[in-house]
Amino acid sequence: MTSTDIAAPRVLAWSRHALFDLVVLLVIAIVSWWLHRQLRLLPLPTQTFLVGVVFGRLFGVLPALRRHRPAPEVPLTVGMVLLGAQVDVAALQAIGATGCALWLLYQPLVRACVRVPLRHAGVTPAAASLVAVGLGGGSLSAVLAAEASAPQRDAQARQLAVMATLLAGAAGYLLLPDVVAVCGMDATRCARFVGITMATTAEAVLVGAEHSPEAMRATGAMRLLVNLCLWLPVVAHLRSLETNSATPRRRPVAVVCWAMARVPGFVYGLGLMTVLTLLGGLAAAEQQALARVTNWSFLMVLAGVGMSLRWRALRDIGWRPLLAVLVGIAASMAIMLAVVHAVP
């Protein structure tokens, strides 16, 4: 028997397993979308996550599926790459270099504001760093990428980071429209503030849409830039995991190679798709079709994350870390609000 004869059944089994995973995640996304159209009680991303949790519990009851949890990595990669097809040149110009500078400023700010209360809540520095990755605007994409590239995986830290990101996104979706209205922000300032401080992309764009169509497009552009640069907080997190007294100082070339090896692959795909769109490689109808595929891909990601929720790990986390997350994200948002108002 040759190696090809041995590998063929394994490839076939893996293909069937992956296809089953994608079908399950798509079914959950469709169920959530239908419920949202009927009830409209929760934001669609939050509702999809909760429906995924219900399906995960259902799988836990069935003996044949008890240990099966569809992974969200495949739809995540597809959604992130296709996001580049939605680039808006005019909106990018409105955001400008100022928006990029503000986002870079927000990264150390949110890490500092979140780490202090989490430390008092008994959370380890490594877990607090992973939480800051999601709350810094990288959303679940950055959390999953950082956790997958970590030297040692921590299921409890992953659960805390996921729950913190979703909690911050839901709270921001409920509160930020009123904050933007009270502060009298124009479309550009709204996009900079919401696009930077919101932990989740879908809710950020929805908040921009409540302001105006111009704010919605600008917020989408801001989130595109955030997703293109999400490898920065991921690399910063991984770097912090490897930094200790026994670690020798790396040379600059070695640091660059180390960072490039840890950049999530979909970031390169997102960059290529963005360049293709900016060069006019996609017609308007094609962009609209890819936008629908992108939206469904992100819903499937949320479904997969919900299914992977481990209740035992969540019980171990407790309420104190989540309360600390809210305190930290509120402090960082308040500081960034003042900065955005001060910058022309």
pLDDT of residue 243: 64
pLDDT digits (tens, 9 = 90+) for 15-49: 777 788 888 899 999 999 999 888 877 778 778 88
d(CA 121, CA 113): 13
Confidence (pLDDT) at 298? 80
Name the residue with higher pLDDT: 66 or 46.
46
Radius of gyration of the CA atoms of the chain, in A: 20
The model's pLDDT over 85-99, given as tens digits with 9 standing for 90+, comes to 877 788 788 788 898
Number of H helices, E strands in the chain: 16, 0
- Summarize the confidence of residues 52-70 as an average pLDDT: 79
- Spatial CA neighbour of 264 closest among 114, 79, 99, 132: 79
pLDDT (average), residues 104-127: 90
Say if CB 193 and CB 185 are below 8 A apart.
Answer: yes
Kindly state the percentage of the chain with pLDDT values over 70.
86
Q: In this model, does residue 336 exceed pLDDT 90?
A: yes
What mean pLDDT do residues 238-252 have? Answer: 61
Structure tokens at 266: 């979909």
pLDDT-based confidence at residue 245 (cuts at 50, 70, 90): very low
pLDDT tens, 212-229? 888 887 888 888 888 878
Q: How many CA atoms lie within 13 A of 104 on its CB side?
A: 5
Domain ranges of the chain: 69-342
Burial of 74 (0-12, 13-18, 19+ CB in 10 A): middle
Over residues 148-158, the mean pLDDT reads 75
Helix, strand, coil percentages (3-state) for the chain, rounded to 5, are 85, 0, 15
